Structure formats: C-alpha cells, structure tokens
Structure 1
Amino acid sequence: MRIARSVASLGPVDVGDHVCWVVPRPDDFQRTARGYLSDGTHLGDKVMVVGSSSPAWLEFHAPQGVLVDPVVARGGVGWDADALVSLVRQEAETAGREGFRALRVLAQMDRIWPAGITAEQVADQELRLDAVTGGTAAMVVCAYASPGFAPKVLEQAASVHPHFTGHPAMAPSFQMFNDAMDCWSVSGVVDADGAGAFRTAVTGLLRTTATLRLRCDGLQLMDAVGMQTLAEVAATLPGRKVLLERANPTVRRCWELLGFDDPAVPAELVP
C-alpha cells in the first residue's frame, strides 16, 4: 500500500513514487534536479526529462536519457491533457524491455501545462498520472515553479500527489492518490482550508466511475465542511456514490453526529 508523506529532498524517491516538488527559486531547481538525475545512473534507471534542456540536463549527459521539450515539440503551445500520461506509460514499458530497473522522470510543469491551466485540469491530469505511476516501474517528480503558478493551482497540484517536497508552508492539508484499481487513498486533514481542492479532486474522479472508493487509513480528520463537500459532490452527479473505507472512530462518530449516515446521502461509511 502506498503511504502519503512529505520528503525533505528527492534523494529517497523510489519506484512507484509520484512527487509534487514546489520549487521556490531557479537555483534550487538546478542543484536538486542534478542530484535526482544522477541517482538514476547509479541505480540503473532510464532517465527522462520532460522540459527544457536546462543546465541540470546538459551537465548530466546520460547516454540512456531521453529529453522531450513540449514547447518545442508543439510550437510553443504546450501539451494537451493526455500527453504526459501517455508518454510516461509508453516510456516505462520501453525501459522495462530495454532492461532498466525503472523509468526516472523529471517533469518541468511550466513547460508542459498551457498558459492559464485551471486547478480542475491539473487535478484530472495528475490523478491519472498517479494511477500510471503506481502501476508501472516508474517514478515521477513534477516540478512546479513558485512563483510561476497561481496559488490555487499549486495547492491543487500538491493535494493530488502522494508525496510532497518544498517549503513546509506549501504542504497540502490532505493528499489524495491512487491505491488500487478504482480505489483512492485520502490522508491528512480535510477541512475548510482544503475543501476547494478536495471538491475538485472528488468531482473529477466521480465523473469517471459510478462508485468511488476512498480509503481513509491515513485520514486524521474530516470536519463538517469536508463532509458537506463530499455529500454535495456526490449529489450533483446522479447515479454516483462514494464509499469511505477504514475511517477512524473520530471520523465515524462525526459522520453520525452530523447526520450524514442517512440513506438519502450518496456517500457511505463502510468497514
């Protein structure tokens, strides 16, 4: 089972990890990216940089490396929403056939996302990418420059990765990520502060499945705002239902006290 966590650096990143890296300064990117890429050569990984030919890449000179610049490839307009997911899946399969341990990806998101990308689009893309990362021999670090992206976009990006690194002030209050087929884990605290990002993530997932399973082993607390948000999202999509699995006694008690254990609410606590 994957476990959400914040990491102090990219050193511990391993196969199956999907990391949101909020980069505060350009010089931080060069130094940290170089170390992350170099680790791949020592461990037998195939390295792929999706972004610009930055100094971190130029100094790396990996013969087994792949560099893809979406801006150049698409004439400066960035990629559509499916391109990164498709590329990672394809290159991970190729790396396996070529005998590499794994595919090690560094994605510069300011070179991938089109200008004006919304939080909803980021959530959709990152959640689908997480499902691919967790199910293949790949690890993906998504580098988000700050400043560079709107605060709402950064908050959304951080909340839909199982791993986060960057300034502690940017760490998400909750994290949602793929746990198994048609099952997603929620960890941390879902309250008024993160309700907007939570609404966006759940809405996107519910549009793709009739029954959304949310595994709550790592969920510490969901307050009244979080519960109301969950119930409202499920109610706005007829025929959809949310199952909350393995919630702790505090969450279960609050759910009951606030009246959400009503059969009319299309969200249910299950063992």
Structure 2
Amino acid sequence: MASLDEVTLGDHVCRFMDPSGTLLSETRAYVADGALYGDKVVVIGSPGTAPLPRDCASVASVVLDLPGPAAASSLLTAVRREVRTAAREGFRSVRVLTEPTPVALHGGVEELLAQELKLDEFAAESGAIVVCAFHPSLWDPLALERVACVHPHEVGRRAVRPAFRMFSTGTDEWSVDGVIDSEGADAFNTAAKAAIVHAPALRLRFDALEMIDAAGMHALVDAARHLPDRRILVNGANETVRLCWKLAGYAHEGVPVVMGP
C-alpha cells in the first residue's frame, strides 16, 4: 500500500513508523476517516499516551487500556467485544489501531507473531480494519522482518516486500505466497509455530507459493513437530513443490505434514 488511505474492510496492515513519528501523528487520516466511513475507532494503548488529535474529536472512539502485558487471547476478546458493540450502535465496522512494544512480550517474537496472526484472522472474519504500528527504534531489525511476513499489507519505510507472506484465508487456515528459501526459512518456521499453537490441525494453502527449498521444507516439518499431536495439512502445492517434497524424503506417515495437490 502507498498509504493508509487505501485500506478497506478486512485489511490487516503493518505500519512502519518514521523515526520521529508517533502512533497517532502517522495515522491521523486513518483515524479521521472513521467518521467519514461510519467506523468506530478502537485504540489499544493508554489514554495518556495515545490521545486523539483535536481535529479527530468528532470520531467515535474507545481506548482499550489493557492491564499489564496483554496476551493475544485477551486482546482478541477485547476487540471482538468492541465489534459487537459497534454493530449494535449502528457503525459499519471498527478501525483498530495498536502499537505493539517489545516490553509487553514475554514469549519473544513467536508470541508477537501469534498475536499478529490472530489479529489477521480476526480482521478477515469480522471485516474490521486493523493497523499495527511499529516504531523501528524499539525493535530488532530481524523481528521487524518477521513481522512483515504475517501482514497482508504494509505501509512505511520498507521499500522491499518480504520474500513470503502468511495470511488468513479462514479459521485455522493460512495462505502462503512468495518464496521460502534459506533466507526466509527461520521466519517461516517462527510464523508456523505461532499458528500451530492454536490449531492441532493447521491448514496451509500453497497456491501462490512460487518455491520452497530444503531449508523451507525443514522449517515446515520442524514447526509441525514443535508441539505433540500437531499436524499440518498443505493444499494447493504445485507439481514442482510436491516432487521436491517427495525427493527430500518427507512424503511418509512419520512426518506430521501432509503435502496434497
């Protein structure tokens, strides 16, 4: 996306902020458009640190000041509640605005990706718009690279799209596009591990995946083995990917990944 002006219902966007920017200074138009389109704005943060600008005073909004480090389940429960409330109040949808911070995470990047994947699923199911703003000075560059992979859209300082993206196409189902090679294998492994925590049988769509090399296939199998009694079902893989999977020796019952057409 060139800017947040392009967002539509169901979008989940990663906003990389400028070094001198603040959460609402860089998302002012996104917030103000809430009134234009009949959306309620939900800001996740502290009222003291995230006030609405004066020129957005007419926007119907709520600030969720979640106590302590908010787990993904707590955050999702809160925003789902706001969607139901907004529907009763006659709003078209909600515009969620959040700025994750490393200090709020106990489980590191995997916890962050799990939260972002659930937010993506929430946006796709509910029709809400979710913008996650990341300040580069607060994050390790490697963490930001992985964050970009689990957002269907991004706006901001990055000029190059990630090698692959993983995004929701239904409950516990994720589409993966692009290329998963040795450079992106670790990021893919982290994203798959984060997703499988909530799904004993995780479904991945490889329809738009161009290529996955040996490192990527190992990352996939390792993610499936991350927790006991987990399986990953892959559909839509092209003939080349399926052949490489077979030649790599993964096409047998002992591997908790099923590679289908």
Are 2:54 and 1:51 equivalent residues in the alignment? Answer: no
Question: What secondary structure is seen at the aligned counterpart in 2 of 1:161?
Answer: coil
8 Å CA contact 1:156, 1:197 repeated in 2: yes
232, 235, 258: which is aligned to 1:242? 232
Q: Is the 8 A contact 1:173 1:194 kept in 2?
A: yes
User: Unaligned stretches of 5+ in structure 1?
Assistant: 1-6
Aligned match of 2:257:
267
Displacement after TM superposition at 1:86 (Å) = 1.6
1:102 aligns with 2:93: yes
- Aligned residue in 2 for 1:38: 32
Q: Is the 8 A contact 1:119 1:152 kept in 2?
A: no
Residue in 1 aligned with 2:151?
161
Letter paired with 2:80: R
Q: Letter of the 1:148 partner, please give it.
A: L
**What is the alpha-carbon distance in structure 2 between the residues aligned to residue 263 and residue 116 of structure 1?**
35
1:252 aligns to what? 242
**Which residue is 2:64 aligned to?**
68
In the other structure, the counterpart of 2:6 is 12
Distance 1:242 1:80, change over 3 A: closer
Q: 2:151, 2:5 → 1: CA distance?
A: 17
Aligned partners of 1:84 and 1:208: how far apart in 2? 15
2:194 corresponds, among 183, 195, 204, to: 204
Aligned pairs for 1:179-218 (under 5 A) are 179-218=169-208
Offset of 1:247 from its aligned partner? 1.3
CA contact (8 A) 1:215 1:245 kept: yes
- Identity over the aligned pairs, expressed in percent? 40
Task: Look up the SS of the partner of 1:192 in the other structure.
Answer: coil
CA distance in 2, matches of 1:262, 1:9: 46
CA deviation map 1:37-58 (0-9, x unaligned): 1222111111122235547634
Change (3 A) 1:116 1:261: closer
Contact 2:23 2:50 in 1 (8 A): no
TM-score (normalised: structure 2): 0.88
Q: List per-residue Cα deviations over 1:164-192 (Å, max 9, x = no partner).
A: 22233564222212211221111121111
The answer (yes or no) to whether the contact 1:122–1:156 under 8 Å persists in 2 is no
More moved, 151-160 vs 40-49? 151-160
Segments of 4+ in structure 1 off by > 6 A? none
Unaligned runs of 5+ in 2: none
Give the 3-state SS of the residue equivalent to 1:15 in structure 2.
coil
Return the TM-score normalized by structure 1: 0.85
Please say if 1:82 is aligned against 2:76: no
Instruction: Please give the alpha-carbon distance, in whole angstroms, between the structure 2 residues aligned to 1:221 and 1:190.
Output: 6
Residue 17 of structure 2 corresponds to 23
Q: Superposition RMSD on alpha carbons, in Å?
A: 2.4
Farther off after superposition, 197-206 or 112-121: 112-121
Matched-pair contact (CA < 8 Å) for 1:175–1:188: yes
Aligned pair count? 259
Contact 1:92–1:137 (Cα < 8 Å) also in 2? no
SS at match of 1:141: strand
